Amino acid sequence: MPRASLPHHLVALWFADIAGYSARAAEDERGALQLIEILQALSRSNVQRYEGRVVKFFGDAVLAEFPSTETAVRAAAALGQEYAEESARTGRAHDLRIGIHVGDVAVDADGDLYGDCVNAAARIQAAIDPGQVVVSEDVWRQVRGREGLRFESLGCRDLKGVGSIDLHVVTLTESSTAASVSSAGNSGGRPEQRNNKIRSIAVLPFADLSAEGDQEHFSDGIAEEILNALSKVGSLHVPARTSCFAFREANLDAREIGKRLGVEALLDGSIRKVEKRLRISVELIDASNGYQLWSERFDREIEDIFAIQDEIARSVLESLGLALTEREEFRFLKPSTTNIEAYEFYLRGRKLYHKWTRQSVEFARQMFERAVKTDPSFAAAWAGLANTYVDLFRWGRNPRDLEEAQHASEQALKLDPNSAEGHVSVGQALAIQRRFAEAAVAFERAIEQDPTLVEAFYLYGRMLFESGDPEKSAKLFEKAQRVRPDDYRSRCFLAMALTELGRHDEARRAGQLAVESVEKHLELNPEEARAYSLGANVAIRLGDKERSSRWAEQAMELAPNDPLVLYNAACNLAMLGETERALDGLERAIEAGVAVGDWIQHDPDVENLRSHPRFQAIVKRIAPSGEII
């Protein structure tokens, strides 16, 4: 019996048996013994080839473990093919049934494995048809996009001792076996460099393999931390979180994901969090062929999470043949807390904040509040808290939110004077108070600290436009594009700034690129109201009324009460010449709590309304200066 003191680790394993063995043994004992001999010989060579371990043979079955899910799946699929061919020499061909699962196991002194993971693999194997290699949902989520693997869903099955579980048949496509063996040979340890240089990588959301499935905030947060760290390397292109995370659970080949994101490599992984233990598996995949460049597994205490993040990010850079400059090293993954409880609140807050609805930002504020109460010295949490208060003020114009934003941003910088995010928070809080000169200093300081932080350029550009400097604003939006070419927001606002400057040819070209960027973004994020809303206004300036109308309607359908969506819809109507409806829309935006401040003074989209008395009254209500320009 396994003892409580047995060591545990996370493994991928499979359980295989010979279909039809009992009937064969009853009629042909010698042939049945040959089947077992073939199974044992092929299993030993196959498992060794894929760097696994045969745990044990028993009768007509075998249990094997592997360091990664991909090598386990490829080994099982290859074994199934090989066995069907070799068993024919006994006078009759037989198929194997192989069940694959991933999970926590206890390891006995003799190397035997115990636990629910072993039982699940055995139950999967017993429930399938001869010749099938079947993986659990947890395994499928980790390898679904790998080149050379084809999956077919079997639906949900109720297995004894396991419960309901989704199963998938896997087959190995032609000519992929040899390549996967080469890939398996580099399943751990130091990364192997590819001959040609890779200079772009997407970090996909890490799968949450926790038993309750309630740790997505944690797995997403770790992936995002690594993404942010890699994005600070000047010679490496890393798409934004919204683009990368749009491929959560996408049943697509790695090559297709790479093509859609425009990258040469993918970083994928999974996290299982059990009380104070973490099991993290990560792999770097060549997006040109789907082969694994490097993989690693971490089985550590949760307190090691910051060291693990750093190790993963540095291993990726090493595998790509990149080294950090002194300045990049200074910015690279510098945790501002060692308190795991506070860090978890922070990750929950950040996940909620990314949804960017009024309700989710309020919930994010609560999480950041709990983070700073748990660890008052947590600078990044203070910066996150400041951002939520700024957004809440924009929505509700509550003076208390502005006061709290100012306090939180100042606290963030007091704790970490070199935090680029902290300086951005301060800049936002000052800008919303129309303290534009002071805000500019804060944004400049943020860019000095981290010239890869796209939010610093983007928000600085917005502030300059609102304060009446479209020339410099356009330059900031151009710089934001260079930092992150897939950022549709800066492209949309560059087109607006150029329009305000009267540089119409440039504005038209910028608008065309903005529409293309919005389209690409919406392909990956079809439920983002803000993209539809901004894109609609760019499209109408280009004369594309059909697209503009369609996108504006979609934005209103997704977020009918969002103040900024309402404001942009009103701008759209103004450009269409529907004056009264546009003014009605602006009134609705005010009622919903829009806080566009002096922005409306310089917005070219409402140029047709400026002489209307209702518009002048609206400006006096929402523009702090109260002046009509």
pLDDT in tens, 134-159: 999 888 888 877 778 888 888 888 88
Band (pLDDT 50/70/90 cuts) for residue 22 is confident
CB 131 within 8 Å of CB 19: yes
CATH 3.40.50.10070 residue ranges for the chain: 201-331
pLDDT of residue 623: 56
Lowest mean pLDDT among 8-12, 79-83, 269-273, 303-307: 8-12
Count of Cβ atoms closer than 10 Å to residue 354 Cβ: 15
- Where does 450-487 have alpha helices with state H? 454-466, 470-483
Q: Which residues pair with 113 in a beta bridge?
A: 107
- Strand 201-203 versus strand 207-208 pairing type: unpaired
Looking at residues 538-542, what average pLDDT do you find? Answer: 94
Question: In whole angstroms, how far apart are CA 508 and each of 229, 322, 458, 498?
Answer: 35, 38, 20, 9
CATH 3.30.70.1230 residue ranges for the chain: 8-184
Band (pLDDT 50/70/90 cuts) for residue 456 is very high
The answer on pLDDT for 603 being more than 70 is: yes
Extract the tokens encoding 295: 């993989």
Nearest Cα to Cα of residue 454 among 606, 173, 172, 228 = 228
The answer on pLDDT for 597 being more than 60 is: yes
Looking at residues 15-19, what average pLDDT do you find? Answer: 92
Band (pLDDT 50/70/90 cuts) for residue 1 is very low
- What value, to the nearest 5°, has the Cα angle with vertex 67 and ends 62 and 73? 60
pLDDT in tens, 212-247: 778 899 999 999 999 999 998 888 999 999 899 999
* Conformational region of residue 503, where left means phi above 0, alpha means psi within -120 to 50, and beta covers everything else: beta
Taking all residues of the chain, what is their mean pLDDT, rounded to a whole number?
Answer: 86
* 467: three-class secondary structure by DSSP: coil
Distance CA 145, CA 140 (A): 9
Band (pLDDT 50/70/90 cuts) for residue 600 is confident
Q: Regarding predicted confidence, which is higher, 618 or 366?
A: 366
CB 564 within 8 Å of CB 572: no
pLDDT of residue 496: 92
The H helix count followed by the E strand count for the chain is 27, 13
Encode burial over 164-176: b for 16+ CB neighbours within 10 A, e otherwise. Answer: ebebbbbebeeeb
pLDDT of residue 196: 58
CATH 1.25.40.10 residue ranges for the chain: 336-450
Q: Which residues pair with 11 in a beta bridge?
A: 103
pLDDT of residue 401: 93
pLDDT in tens, 369-424: 999 999 999 999 999 999 999 989 877 778 899 899 999 999 999 999 999 999 99
Nearest Cα to Cα of residue 298 among 288, 286, 310, 290 = 310
DSSP code at position 609: G
CB 547 within 8 Å of CB 530: no
Looking at residues 88-107, what average pLDDT do you find? Answer: 86
The answer on pLDDT for 491 being more than 70 is: yes
Distance CA 254, CA 265 (A): 9
Extract the tokens encoding 589: 């935006």
CB 206 within 8 Å of CB 270: yes
pLDDT of residue 179: 44
Quickly list DSSP for 161-176. TTEEEEEEEEEEPTT-
Nearest Cα to Cα of residue 132 among 46, 14, 6 = 14
Band (pLDDT 50/70/90 cuts) for residue 31 is confident
DSSP H or E stretch at residue 59: none
Looking at residues 35-58, what average pLDDT do you find? Answer: 86
Quick check: pTM over 0.85? no
What residues have CB less than 8 Å from 544, skipping those under 6 apart?
Answer: 515
Q: Which residues pair with 274 in a beta bridge?
A: 277
CATH class of 8-184: alpha beta
* 136: three-class secondary structure by DSSP: strand
pLDDT of residue 187: 43
* CATH of 336-450 among 1.25.40.10, 3.40.50.150, 3.40.50.620, 1.10.150.120: 1.25.40.10
pLDDT of residue 183: 44
Looking at residues 20-46, what average pLDDT do you find? Answer: 85
The fold of the 201-331 domain, in CATH, is Rossmann fold (3.40.50)
The answer on pLDDT for 463 being more than 70 is: yes
Q: Report the Cα 284 to chain-centroid distance in Å.
A: 15
Count of Cβ atoms closer than 10 Å to residue 577 Cβ: 9
pLDDT of residue 16: 94
In this structure, which amino acid lies at residue 349?
A: G
pLDDT in tens, 302-332: 988 988 998 899 889 888 888 787 778 877 7
- What value, to the nearest 5°, has the Cα angle with vertex 321 and ends 320 and 327? 105
pLDDT of residue 629: 33
Looking at residues 194-220, what average pLDDT do you find? Answer: 83
pLDDT in tens, 120-130: 899 999 888 88
The answer on pLDDT for 613 being more than 70 is: yes
What residues have CB less than 8 Å from 392, skipping those under 6 apart?
Answer: 358, 361, 362, 365, 398, 401
